[in-house]
Chains A and B, each alone.
Chain A
Amino acid sequence: GQSLEQPSEVTAVEGAIVQINCTYQTSGFYGLSWYQQHDGGAPTFLSYNALDGLEETGRFSSFLSRSDSYGYLLLQELQMKDSASYFCAVPDTGRRALTFGSGTRLQVQP
């Protein structure tokens, strides 16, 4: 089966940079995804890494190291609206359903 570990909570100040780590154990690897979820809202897709390295999308970047079974989400120039929960996720061995981590709650302070 799959399992993912990420910190439960991270706090940072507006304008800063924050990194949210994720380590995973899978029986087969088909990529690492990141989702953002505001309180009471729907999870929304942020990024996907299938290969090692850094993927950049605006203020958000995501990194993957398959040899270390590790990835991270990097948020730059933090804004108050970035306060949310962030989940890493991996596909199951059939590449049909996603298994999610328990989430990292990010609090951005003024």
Chain B
Amino acid sequence: GAGVSQTPSNKVTEKGKYVELRCDPISGHTALYWYRQSLGQGPEFLIYFQGTGAADDSGLPNDRFFAVRPEGSVSTLKIQRTERGDSAVYLCASTADPRGGTGELFFGEGSRLTVL
């Protein structure tokens, strides 16, 4: 597809379980971001990849959150020992050059995580 693809679109899990969320960015985009959005709030930065490496993971809330991008394309956000407070929409975005032009981010529609 032409846009950023995220799966699953919805995930319901129980407290304490492990969750993986996947992001397939726009082809050729080297920069990839994960954001978290709670109801009525703006997207909150979690982590930024440039190629395969995590260039900035300062937004990850704690060590239960981890993300990888092993081949510089698809990324997976991993959440261990989920808590009810982790319930949110997890957004992925990509761009060709964050420092060039408008720095426009292309977002996916998100993965809605509900922790019961």
Q: Which residues in A have their C-beta under 8 angstroms from that of B3?
A: 42
Task: Tell me the complex Cα distance, A103–B35, Å.
Answer: 15
A102 on interface, CB distance cutoff 8 Å: yes
The proximity string for B residues 51-67 relative to A, scoring 1 for CB distances below 8 Å and 0 otherwise, is 00001100100000000
| A96 and B102 contacting across the interface, CB-CB below 8 Å | no
Q: A39 CB to closest chain B CB, in angstroms? A: 10
| B48 and A42 contacting across the interface, CB-CB below 8 Å | no
| A96 and B109 contacting across the interface, CB-CB below 8 Å | no
How many residues belonging to A are interface residues under a CB distance threshold of 8 Å?
27
Q: A49 CB to closest chain B CB, in angstroms? A: 9
How many residues belonging to B are interface residues under a CB distance threshold of 8 Å?
30
Q: Which residues in B have their C-beta under 8 angstroms from that of A100?
A: 35, 42-44
Q: Is the interface of A mostly helix, strand, loop or mixed?
A: loop
The proximity string for B residues 100-116 relative to A, scoring 1 for CB distances below 8 Å and 0 otherwise, is 01111111111000000
| B107 and A96 contacting across the interface, CB-CB below 8 Å | no
Q: Is the interface of B mostly helix, strand, loop or mixed?
A: loop
Task: Tell me the complex Cα distance, A30–B102, Å.
Answer: 10
Task: Tell me the complex Cα distance, A30–B101, Å.
Answer: 11
| A43 and B104 contacting across the interface, CB-CB below 8 Å | no
| B42 and A96 contacting across the interface, CB-CB below 8 Å | no
Q: Which residues in B have their C-beta under 8 angstroms from that of A101?
A: 42
Known: A42-B110, A43-B91, A97-B33. A33 touches B103 (CB 8 A): yes
Segment of A13-21, A66-74, A75-83, A87-95 in the binding face = A87-95
| B103 and A95 contacting across the interface, CB-CB below 8 Å | yes
Task: Tell me the complex Cα distance, A48–B99, Å.
Answer: 13
Q: Which residues in A have their C-beta under 8 angstroms from that of B105?
A: 35, 43, 45, 98
Q: Which residues in B have their C-beta under 8 angstroms from that of A30?
A: 103
**Cβ-defined partner of B109 (8 Å) among A40, A48, A105:** A40
Can you name 16 A-B residue pairings with CB atoms under 8 Å? A30-B103, A31-B103, A41-B109, A43-B43, A45-B102, A45-B106, A48-B104, A91-B103, A95-B103, A96-B55, A96-B56, A97-B48, A98-B105, A100-B35, A102-B40, A102-B41
